[in-house]
Homo-oligomer: A and B are copies of this chain.
Amino acid sequence: MQQKVLITDCADARGLIAQVTQVCAKHDLNIINNKEFVDSHNKRFYMRTELEGVFNDEVLLQQFAQVLPQQHHVKLVDNSKKRIVIMVTKEAHCVGDILMKAYYGGLDVEIAAVVGNYPELAALVEKFDVPYHFISHQGLTRAAHEQAMLDVILPYQAHYVVLAKYMRVLTPHFVSQFENRIINIHHSFLPAFIGASPYQQAWERGVKIIGATAHFVNNCLDEGPIIKQNVISVDHSYSAQELAHQGRDVEKSVLSKALQLVLNEQVLVYGNKTIVF
């Protein structure tokens, strides 16, 4: 007996759940959990189905294709451990949290490697027997630097790339290698305080709440479909530096939770949004 997750996404129509679940029933697959959502504005159907049984993927996918409208996406994902590559700059809190959680089983993930444009985090990463690739951007064009990183990252065949406070903008060329597979964490609130020194901006504005947003990266570093957001309360007594310090906790916690959701196949991207089942 195996467990797999079926993700279905197509134009809305009557009888879709019945059609799909009948195929599952014919294969004697048990449905453990099923969640469905219709975006009535865009007339699109989304479903996530946890299945248990003996899977003949090829036949199943063929049969799903027969019962679904022409423009559809179906994917059947097993629950084997996913592989990620983490990209960092100098800050340890996000990568540290993922390393630690992966170590004790709080995140069920294989960290294939960490790639950084500074050497600072090598020692930490290597404590966990994860290879650290230091690829400085100094003296390189952006294109050359990204290519050097791609040369290191692509062979790992990672399911996802996690930007754990990687502080450089990625070009569309880089992003296009991993469509909806790069996860970023953004300090403060998206879409507020876009630009440099957000904690300084937040301090000047006297905000009573600071937050973090984890999102997939599309062409613009700090935009793209939002996966998870959270906030913490702050007050007048925090300096800009202390806001940033507190912000780290919410950043690392939001990024870890977003990664967990993605690894669980709970996140479907549609347009510039996500459905989180």
Contact = CB atoms under 8 A, between A and B. Distances in A.
A273 B203 CA distance: 9
A206 B192 contact: no
Given A17-B31, A189-B192, A106 B248 contact: yes
A272 interface: yes
The bracket for how many chain A residues form the interface is: 35 or more
Contacts of A206: 225-226, 272-274
A96 B103 contact: yes
Contacts of A17: 17, 21, 31, 34
Nearest to A40: B32
A21 B253 CA distance: 39
Contacts of A204: 272
Contacts of A139: none
Contacts of A18: 18, 21-22, 24-25
Interface stretch (A140-148, A155-163, A166-174, A207-215): A207-215
A259 to B, nearest CB: 13
Identical copies of this chain, number? 4
Given A18-B22, A25-B18, A253-B249, A209 B208 contact: no
A36 B40 contact: no
Contacts of A22: 15, 18, 22
Contacts of A21: 15, 17-18, 21
Q: Rank and list the top 5 A-B pairs by shortest CB-CB distance, nearest first.
A: A206-B273, A15-B25, A92-B104, A192-B192, A18-B21
28 contacts: A14-B25, A17-B17, A18-B18, A21-B21, A33-B237, A34-B34, A34-B35, A35-B35, A91-B104, A92-B100, A93-B101, A93-B104, A93-B106, A103-B124, A104-B124, A106-B245, A106-B249, A127-B127, A191-B193, A192-B192, A204-B272, A205-B226, A205-B272, A205-B273, A206-B226, A207-B226, A231-B231, A236-B274
